[in-house]
Structure 1
Amino acid sequence: MKDYYDILGVSKDSSGQDIKNSYRKLAKKYHPDKNPGDEKAEKKFKEAAEAYEILSNDEKRQKYDHMKEGGFQNFGGGGFDGFSGGGMDLNDILNSFFTNGGQGGGGFNNRRRRPSPRKGGDIEVKLDVPFIVAAKGGKSNMKIGQNRQKTIAVNIPVGVETGQKIKIAGEGQQGSHGGRPGNLYIEVNVLEHKIFSREKSNLICEKEISLKEALLGTSVTVQTLDKELELKVPPCTQPGATLRVKKHGIKTSRDAGDLLVKFKVRLPEELSEDQKKTIEELF
């Protein structure tokens, strides 16, 4: 017959609190989480749990004492009153102890049973951003969620380029068991513009002038991000020549790019005889 007092290391006249304290120490010492793969420790843990189940219950303890004094040797082979080491719910036993007076107010087993908080997964999406918004910065709305039921305003930083990612904390998948949500990563795709292209922080545009204007020089109006500028085109400007306008490109917190105006010379589709003669005389 199993001696549950001996298993818990207490005497027959020990109080319920003494039994509880002794069981707590043994449970912590031999718990499978602290002794992975140790069959001997697992056996001791189950025996201690079985003993505590009996001795912590006044009615079962009284019946056990009576049967032990009467010498019922068949008692304890498979446990007591249907409670065996393999059949009873050890988690319930541990919960009943640690919830009702164990150290820490929830203690050891509650930490074991309660799933750990897990951070939600990150989400990656792509967002088309108008060229001017990417160049000057601003906001762009987008819908997120499984059914795209939520609209968020995305802050677009000045000078963002295609392929760069914007992080929005906490807008990813929901965490589990109290874990914080994941993050949303937005990959930017800057849309093309009908006038401008860009090279890092420099803006590039083309301006068409006639052959006469290229040869004699002229003044042209060009558009910047904010306003129109009047530029002087020097005489004998070559096709493909570039005029750099300082500090009229993309302005970030670190620097300001330039506006590069590339000239495209428009040639006549045909020449009159007098025009041909004049050109021959010139060249």
Structure 2
Amino acid sequence: MANRDYYEVLGVEKSADAKEIKKAYRRLAMKFHPDRNPGDAKAEEQFKEATEAYDVLADDQKRSAYDQFGHAGVSGQGGGYGGQGANFSDIFGDVFGDIFGGAGGGGARSRANRGSDLRYTLDLDLEDAVRGKTVKIKIPSQKECGECDGSGAEKGSKVEECETCHGAGQVRMQQGFFSIQQTCPRCRGKGKMVKNPCRRCHGSGIVEEDKTLSVKVPPGVDTGDRIRLAGEGEMGANGGTPGDLYVQIAVKEHPLFARDGQNLYCEVPISFADAALGGELEVPTLDGRVKLKIPPETQTGRLFRLRGKGVAPVRGGAAGDLLCRVVLETPVNLSKKQKELMKEFQSSMEAGGKQAPKRESWFQGVKSFFDSTKFS
């Protein structure tokens, strides 16, 4: 192999630090690796050359000798692809270990994993959502099996080391040149095996049972709001911390009120006489009944605002309003006498012509439309 300058081979300055040297070798190794260039002798030669350069420059003692005496300073100890120094697999594993789990044996056991978060939908009446309430809920949960103390093994038997991974929880797979670690398929990363499983938990070390939780619902919650109960989610694996339980609020439809943020809306039917002559109506609120004054000549659809009779926000602040929309109700099932009175009233209205300005204005608009439009 030609003795090219090692810094030139890796394409770095002589002042390059270990991180830069490692990065440069990683780039060249991936580019010229034989598995990526099958049958390419030139690429293989460049790969060997880069590996030899990295073997020297990545070692502080070898690099110092090389900087002082050149190739003569590392003659006989240059590692390279076929040298007497570091084994090539060790060199490559050192650079790519963070991707493939390291070049050494054993591997780490499965880490403790945090349990998954769970969700529970809590249906609430509008009154409870507005005022707040403490609610008891029952949810399925997991806990350590009391029969085997979570080991998964029947009493009197032992948990044994996995014969496949020898307790490591991981196995190494060789794929061509690359060495890859993966979870042991036999013990699923636990590093241990249960030959005589517990009859209660069937070897899992975990049993399921329902548990009752007390949920404090703050005043003012609305559909979509969530209450977090820390540590009440799924159990963590391998001793990991449990997840959280999120209680999601769903407010039921109310027969009288509709909610829009802080405000409540209510439809109030009124008679023709009350709308025309005015009067006082009793309307519901979440705090009880209140009087609503209807002025004379009130039109259907008019909104009346009752301030402070809405909902106080869950995060604090003044309560919203209750908006009452009056709807004129047409009388039904009229008696003969009532019909006669209505006809008499209708005749008097047509004679006057000033009691229905909107109707008169509408008819004038219709007349103007037909007068100005030509129909084919």
Question: Normalising to structure 2: TM-score of the pair?
Answer: 0.44
- CA shift, 1:272, in A, is 2.1
- CA shift, 1:38, in A, is 10
1:134 aligns with 2:201: no
Cross-structure match for 2:71: none
Q: Which runs of 4+ in 1 moved over 3 A?
A: 33-39
- CA shift, 1:148, in A, is 6.6
CA contact (8 A) 1:129 1:190 kept: yes
Equivalent pairs counted in the alignment come to 185
Within 5 A, what are the aligned runs for 1:180-191? Answer: 180-191=241-252
Within 5 A, what are the aligned runs for 1:15-34? Answer: none
CA contact (8 A) 1:129 1:140 kept: no
Within 5 A, what are the aligned runs for 1:240-251? Answer: 240-251=301-312
The letter for the 1-side match of 2:135 is: S
Cross-structure match for 1:254: 317
Structure 1 CA distance for aligned equivalents of residues 135 and 275 of structure 2: 42
Q: Name the SS of the counterpart of 1:206 in structure 2.
A: strand
The letter for the 1-side match of 2:125 is: P
**CA gap 1:240/1:38 in 2 versus in 1, 3 angstroms:** closer
CA contact (8 A) 1:242 1:263 kept: yes
1:267 aligns with 2:267: no
Deviates more, 1:130-139 or 1:145-154: 145-154
Structure 2 CA distance for aligned equivalents of residues 206 and 34 of structure 1: 75
Q: 1:227 aligns with which of 268, 288, 302?
A: 288
Q: Deviations over 1:96-126 (max 9, x none)?
A: xxxxxxxxxxxxx9xx55x533211111222
Q: Name the SS of the counterpart of 1:179 in structure 2.
A: coil
- CA shift, 1:158, in A, is 2.5
1:211 aligns with 2:211: no
- CA shift, 1:34, in A, is 7.3
**Residue ranges of structure 1 left out of the alignment (5+ in a row):** 1-29, 46-90, 92-108
Q: Name the SS of the counterpart of 1:274 in structure 2.
A: helix
1:278 aligns with 2:332: no
CA contact (8 A) 1:161 1:190 kept: yes
**CA gap 1:173/1:236 in 2 versus in 1, 3 angstroms:** same
Q: 1:144 aligns with which of 122, 139, 147?
A: 139
Q: 1:120 aligns with which of 115, 122, 140?
A: 115
- CA shift, 1:239, in A, is 1.2
CA contact (8 A) 1:203 1:250 kept: yes
Structure 2 CA distance for aligned equivalents of residues 38 and 185 of structure 1: 36
Structure 2 CA distance for aligned equivalents of residues 142 and 206 of structure 1: 34
**CA gap 1:247/1:217 in 2 versus in 1, 3 angstroms:** same
Q: 1:162 aligns with which of 192, 198, 223?
A: 223
Deviates more, 1:115-124 or 1:205-214: 115-124
CA contact (8 A) 1:243 1:262 kept: yes
**CA gap 1:273/1:155 in 2 versus in 1, 3 angstroms:** same
